Amino acid sequence: MAKLYFKFGAMGCSKTAQALITKFNYEERGMKVLLLKPAIDDREESPVVRSRIGLEAPCVMVPEDMDLYALYRDSYADRDVVIVDECQFLTPEQVDQLGQIVLELNIPVLCFGLSTDFTTHLFPGSKRLFEIAESITEIKSVCRCGAKATVNARLDDNGNIVYEGQQILIGGNSRYEAMCRRCWQRKRKEQKMRGIRG
């Protein structure tokens, strides 16, 4: 039986690389893959999923009003598996549509993404995946101190941690750093003592 998978972790834990390796593994066995990425992630000029270690593959960009079940059924029904990168940016309705692909069409769907934003609150798409995915796996990441990183700290132009603002701000290593909660809280206290508002 096919399953809906959610593979999550903090920034820098190789989520995208693992998504692309998974795609390669399916294709090596002669299977066709539908690779999706939410259109809000506009860091690339062309529709591509690209990891920091240099792996990349073309993908279908998904606007937030796109019905993913209809997309699969009407245009990609020959695909044996669906893989989604940056799944935290999906709407809860789109996550339900992926679940519908699994349940009604018996097609596995593997979602890779962050669980929480820079304020440590769940993204709506990730929240829905935690609620309905049949398989949930954490991909570990490490803080500078060596502890497990669980926080996606947002940085300003001076390297200070930001604690307020809009939930989504697309950026890579220059805007975010994976940290453990202890380091994240310590940095917050240090910034407050120096009069830096985050």
Q: Which residues participate in catalysis according to the annotation?
A: 86
Phi/psi-derived region of residue 140, left when phi > 0, alpha when psi is between -120 and 50, beta in every other case: beta
Q: For the chain, where are the E strands, in sequence order?
A: 4-8, 33-38, 48-50, 56-58, 60-62, 81-85, 109-113, 135-138, 151-155, 161-162, 176-179
Question: Which amino acid belongs to residue 101?
Answer: I
Q: Helices (DSSP H) in the chain: which residue ranges?
A: 15-28, 68-75, 92-105, 124-132, 181-193
